[in-house]
Amino acid sequence: MQYAILCYDNEAEVEAWPRAKLDEVISRHQLATRPVAEQGKLGPVLRLLPTSTAMTVRSGDKPVVLDGPFAETKEQLLGFWIIDAETHEEAVALAQELASHKETGSMEVRPVLMYMDGSNTK
Amino acid sequence: MSELGWIDAALTSARPQALAALLRYFGDLDTAEEAFQEACLRALRNWPEKGPPRDPAAWLIFVGRNFGVDQIRKTSRQAPLPDEEQLSDLGDQESDIAERLDNAHYRDDVLRLLFICCHPDLPATQQIALALRIVSGLSVKEIARAFLVSEAAMEQRITRAKRAISGASREFEPPDAVERSERLGIVAAMLYLLFNEGYSASGGTTHLRGQLCLEAIRLTRLLLRLFPAEPEIMGLLALMLLQHSRMAARLDGNGELILLEDQDRGLWNRELINEGLVLIEKAVRHARPGVYQIQAAIATAHARAPSPDDTNWAEIDRLYGLLEVIQPSPVVTLNRSVAVSKTKGPAAALAMIEPLAKPLDSYFHFHGVRGAYLLQTGDECAARQSFDRAIALARTPAEAAHIRQHIDRLKNLAKSEKRS
């Protein structure tokens, strides 16, 4: 089963990190996901640009386009990993490992219902 | 890096909101700053053990407000300070209340905090220094270093500025829409000055004072988070990001300025460029052009060009034309002439800047640019005069060195002509 591990944190706080800290967290995360990657079980990994660049489109007859992220929240979605895990436990364990390299924020573990990587849509 | 770096980051990013809310409670900057300081000290004691509170700003506001109220009470009669243990447990319930109270005011609080730094009696450099001290929370030492002045001088400057703003009457009612938009414009101008202070450096040997640029970007991001649908704030952030993206390419090994067309574009920071490009596209959707958006659009034209030859100079000419209408100034015309020199040749550019000779007589870049056009038209003697004048006006060694390169080229030209 595929899982999404969604990384949430206070964007303004992460922006206030010194560059060295950001680099260190990213390289630790890369190290943590390497075993999964080596087994060919690491899907796309994404980091998102800040929410200042976000636009939100509200559904309806004439969808309205709004500036900013979908909701004003204390923590923002910063990026995510997609992994292939045998069990839910395995996905949570990786999320724990990833979370242990940061002092703030959360990792949300969500099983994937449908996955299209672009190659199977042709 | 210290293991508790996250606490610094949390305190730094929570500072504008927390301090601004405390300022609203107490109506007095000194009391608010003292209360915030105390809240930070308690955070440093509590957070390492208990972990971060869910909302650091709300935690700091709650603790700071209790402390401030106690201080005020203590002056009339002795009352005990809140118990440390109790404080550390307030994690969620009470700070939720603080949060609910403050969210409604959040935007205007932070805007007010930035706005009081922009007091019209204060010269721009003092406004910037004050914002760095109060809003960013930089130490006087750090600010002094960035401005290349002594710590004592900066201390004095900030003390004087603080006195000036405390004497002024301050409006703590939420501003109306017109007032809000005026404040936003004034604060944006101050943030752009702060950015430019770091970007262009008006003296000294450190041409790039990156920290000031980063601080300006951080505060502008904060402003955009509060006012997410303001196209000019998007434009301002885009402008800063696009300019800052070239930082690594702007100076050579000797600290000398490298012109845009000579820069290694591979060193431009694509992350920042992408963010800037998205922001300017978002801003344009509002169809409310302004000076920051136009300048950002000009920066975009450069950022999009894989090499200098790919630059869309006609577009840049058009954008400067627009800027001349919205905000006419000799410097804008001078900048426009660069685009004109590319599309119509140096003679047309020279004709365009001749009327600027008087207003820009003491402007370094005018003489540098004019010299370059004259050189292109083959008038080496007049070019030499312009370059000499530019060198006399240079504010940094990098600027002077850049012009000297032109002069050296002229000398070599003269030598080789003599030989032949």
Q: Which residues of A touch B227 (CB under 8 A)?
A: none
Q: Which residues of A touch B55 (CB under 8 A)?
A: 74
Q: How many CB atoms lie within 10 A of CB A121?
A: 6
Q: Check which CATH number belongs to the domain holding A93 and give it.
A: 3.30.70.1060
Number of Cβ pairs < 8 A linking chain A and chain B: 70
How many residues are given for chain B?
A: 420
**Helix axes B291-304 and B231-244, enclosed angle (nearest 10):** 40
Q: Which of residues 7-46 of A touch B (CB under 8 A)?
A: 10, 12-18, 20-21, 24
Per-residue pLDDT at B205: 42
- Residue B40 CB contacts under 8 Å (≥ 6 apart), including other chains: B11, B60
In a domain, A121, yes or no: no
Is residue B257 helix, strand or coil? Answer: strand
Containing structural domain, residue A50: 2-116
Per-residue pLDDT at B202: 47
With the C-alpha atoms ordered B234, B235, B238, B244, is the resulting torsion angle positive or negative? negative
Is residue B169 helix, strand or coil? Answer: coil
% of chain A exceeding 90 in pLDDT: 80
Cβ pair A10:B13 closer than 8 A: yes
- B76 confidence band (pLDDT: 50, 70, 90): low
Tell me how far CA of residue B357 lies from CA of A82, B296, B350, B365, B368, in angstroms.
62, 27, 10, 12, 12
Q: Confirm if B129 and B157 have CB atoms less than 8 A apart.
A: yes
Q: What is the mean pLDDT of residues B72-95?
A: 57
Give the gap in angstroms from C-alpha A108 to the nearest C-alpha of chain B: 16
pLDDT tens-digit profile of B231-270?
999 999 999 999 999 988 887 777 677 888 889 999 999 9
For residue A10, pLDDT over 90 is answered with yes
Cβ pair A67:B8 closer than 8 A: no
Q: Confirm if B364 and B393 have CB atoms less than 8 A apart.
A: yes
Q: Confirm if A14 and A116 have CB atoms less than 8 A apart.
A: no
Per-residue pLDDT at B269: 94
Q: What is the mean pLDDT of residues B73-85?
A: 58
In a domain, A60, yes or no: yes
For residue B206, pLDDT over 60 is answered with no
In a domain, A78, yes or no: yes
String of DSSP letters for B334-392? HHHHHHHHHHH-HHHHHHHHGGGTTTTTT-HHHHHHHHHHHHHHT-HHHHHHHHHHHHH
Domain residue ranges in chain B: 1-104
Per-residue pLDDT at B398: 74
For residue B90, pLDDT over 80 is answered with no
Per-residue pLDDT at B119: 86
The domain total for chain A is 1
pTM: predicted TM-score of the whole model, two decimal places: 0.87
In the sheet with A106-111, reading across from the earlier edge strand, the strands are A42-47, A76-84, A2-9, A106-111
pLDDT tens-digit profile of B136-167?
999 998 888 878 789 999 999 999 998 888 76
Report the first-to-last Cα separation within chain A, whole angstroms: 23
In a domain, A93, yes or no: yes
Cβ pair A50:B218 closer than 8 A: no
In a domain, A112, yes or no: yes
For residue B333, pLDDT over 60 is answered with yes
